[in-house]
Amino acid sequence: MKLIKAVCNNKKKYLYLQLEVADTFFKRFKGLMGRSRLPLGQGMLLQPCNSIHMMFMRQSLDLVYIDKGNMIIKKVPNIRPWIGVSMCKKADAVIEMPVGSIEYYGYEVGNILTFIK
């Protein structure tokens, strides 16, 4: 399992988000399906990816879509399990996080994320 950390340039908080990287077809397809709740501070980076579904999910999620320059281009708070679907055609990747993460980290459209190994 490949892990990285993300930090945002939003100048409000410099908090690290630990991300599991899903960078193969199988890892992206499986994603977080069937997993129990994620604790605040953890998530998954799906790349390349511009849409997600919530089938077989046990928890609601916050999503941020990023472009090739790692800029947040769309925020989706509290997408619900089983019925949620989300898409952003211009996105290169999506980060799935526990509900409340967008607010906690202060993520805004236009923020740039830096990934640290």
User: In this structure, what is the dihedral angle of CA atoms 65, 71, 77, 78, given to the nearest 10 degrees?
Assistant: 40
- Residue 38 sits in which domain range? 3-116
Computed over its alpha carbons, how large is the radius of gyration of the chain? 13
Count of the separate structural domains present in the chain: 1
pTM of the model: 0.92
pLDDT tens sequence for the chain (117 residues): 688 888 887 666 667 889 999 999 999 988 888 888 889 899 999 999 999 999 889 899 999 999 999 999 999 999 999 988 999 999 999 999 999 999 999 899 999 999 988
CATH of the domain at 77: 2.60.120.1140
- The residue type at 32: L
Residue the block writes with tokens 């991300």: 19
